[in-house]
Amino acid sequence: MTRRVAIVFGVADLLTAAVVTLGIFFGLPARWAVVDVAAGVLVALKIASGVSLMVRARRAPAVAIAAAAVALALGLGLVTSLALTASWLSGVYGPVGRGGALLMTLVAALTLPYLVVLPAVQLFWLLPGPKGGA
């Protein structure tokens, strides 16, 4: 992995950790242990990945792959849950539920770049194979 790619992925991981921290720990009005633990693990992995990539640690690719895999799994689960919730709200509550459905769709759209697209690109680039970068 080139130095430039490591810096870009490192900065992206640190930015993702900051966005998840702000969104979950400061943005949500109520606490739920399942969400807090998952977000805490993801933030810790993203910080470890970002720092190890920035300093070019020997185990940086392995840490980055683990962080990207966890982020992708959590992101796909979150986006799926938000889409199902939005469709349920709209279907069950009609015009009243469409406001909540719109909010869920907005959150899903804001989640996609950080927790689905970026980890997928990182895994594509970091995993060994005919097109991977590692």
Q: Whole domain around residue 56: which residue ranges?
A: 3-73+114-126
Instruction: Give whole-number Cα distances, 5 to 21, 68, 108, 110, 134, in Å.
Output: 24, 15, 27, 24, 11
In a domain, 80, yes or no: no
In a domain, 134, yes or no: no
Q: What is the distance, to the nearest Å, from the Cα of residue 35 to the centroid of all Cα atoms in its chain? A: 13
- What type of residue sits at position 57? A
In a domain, 54, yes or no: yes
pLDDT at 131 over 70: no
In a domain, 99, yes or no: no
Q: What percent of the chain has pLDDT over 90?
A: 91
In a domain, 7, yes or no: yes
pLDDT level of residue 128 (50, 70, 90 thresholds): confident
Cα separation of 41 and 47, whole Å? 10
Q: Look-up: residue for tokens 């109520």?
A: 30
- What type of residue sits at position 69? A
In a domain, 81, yes or no: no
Residue 81 tokens read as 């849950």
In a domain, 53, yes or no: yes
Give the count of domains, the chain: 1
* pLDDT tens, residue by residue, 10-48: 999 999 999 999 999 999 999 999 999 999 999 999 999
* pLDDT tens, residue by residue, 61-70: 999 999 999 9
In a domain, 100, yes or no: no
Q: Which residues of 62-86 are buried (b: 16+ CB within 10 A; e: fewer)?
A: ebbbebbbbbbebbbebbeebeebb
